[in-house]
Structures are given as structure tokens and as C-alpha cells.
Amino acid sequence: MTITIPLDAIELTPGSMITIHNLSWQEFEQILIELGEQRRTRIAYYQGTLEIMSPLALHERPHRIIADIVKTILDGQGRDWDDFGSTTLKQPRIAGVEPDTCFYIQNASRVRGCINMDLQVYPPPDLAIESDVTSKTTLDAYKALQVPEVWIYRNHKLTIYILQNGDYVESSVSLVFPDLPITEMIPQWVQKAIDEGTSRMLRELKIELG
């Protein structure tokens, strides 16, 4: 006997996750519709496995601070960028994921005018940022989407994953900021924002970057 539980009957406590296996792409699409746009959960789908995550409140602040740091550095370097936030990224029938934040940088000019992200039309983001993610499903989804660089911030440490030959390898060097010690900088500036306030930290960062 198959038991069907409506999604609105499932309540995830902050910091928890539910995994659903053997889910078709059509079922995944229907779940996205049922969950709606205005929600706090994050999803990751890869080849039949769906993870629905409810982030902790503490999870939210680091990735927002990191996004501010990225924008400040890019502005200081005079580079164009577009922040697409937690836009749902999909490779039909294979993968879908919602980053905490994602950026178009090298490809910023190619997404001008985009109001409905379709990876059949637009390239994948140049950089995706996740906070406290340990899921293999999430990285597999990014791999299927061909996102060139993923940052994962967890336990006050930044790990950079670079897509090479179809798989992610851990790297100490960022493709986006090859001349900066990003894995050292990000944790330091995140902590400074928490200790002193984000606006003060960003002003200090601008001065340091010259």
C-alpha cells in the first residue's frame, strides 16, 4: 500500500532535512509548484533524489555577508556582476538546485534582461555560494548544471570547488579571484562583520583593497 502525505503536512524544523528517493522529474517539478516561491526551504535534486532543507537562522547571515564581500571586491576591481540569489537552477530530467547565492561575473553580459532563468538559454552562474551544506546531492546537482565554481562555507571555513574534467576538485585558488587568498580572506571578513557590523567591515575592506 502506498501512503501519500501532502507536502503542507510536513513541517521541517530549522536545521533539518528530508530526503525523497525515486522521484521523477515531473514529480519534482510538481513539488516545486506546491512549495511555492515564498518559502524558507532550499532544494537539491539529482537523478531521482530530492533533498529539502530547512536552514538555521544562523545559516542565513554568513552567505549574505559573503555575497556583500564578493560584490565589494568586484566593484573595487571595476568588474561587472549580477547577483541571482537563490534562483532555482534546473537541468531538465537530471538536476535542480537552489543556491544560497549565485553570481554571474564572466558571463554577466550574457544574462542582461533575464527575468526567468532558463539554462537552456543562458549559461550557468559563474559562482555559486552555499553555507553549511554537506550534501553530495547538492554538489552532484551543480556538476550536472556545469557551474564552474562552488564555494561552501561551513564551520568558519571556506572550501572552493572547481569543475575540472566534469568533476569537482577542491582548490585553494578561486577562478573568480585568482590573485586573492580567498580561502583565508572570507572567514576573516565574515567574522569581522559579525563582531563589528557588516557596514563597518565593508568600509574596512574597501580601504584594504585600495
Burial of 39: CB neighbours in 10 Å, binned 0-12, 13-18, 19+: exposed
Using DSSP's 3-state secondary structure scheme, residue 197 falls into coil
- The DSSP code sequence of 174-192 is -SSSTTS-HHHHHHHHHHH
Determine how β-strand 127-131 pairs with β-strand 101-104.
antiparallel
Please say whether the beta carbons of 25 and 90 come within 8 A.
no
Residue type at position 164:
Q
User: What is the DSSP code (8-state) at residue 92?
Assistant: T
Q: What CATH number has the domain spanning 57-209? A: 3.90.1570
Predicted pLDDT at 3? 42
Please say whether the beta carbons of 97 and 89 come within 8 A.
yes
| Structure confidence at residue 37 as a pLDDT band (50, 70, 90) | confident
pLDDT at 8 over 70: no
Domain ranges of the chain: 57-209
pLDDT at 38 over 70: no
Give the pLDDT confidence of 41-89 residue by residue, as tens digits: 888 999 999 998 887 766 678 999 999 999 999 999 999 999 999 899 9
Is 0.85 surpassed by the pTM of this model?
yes
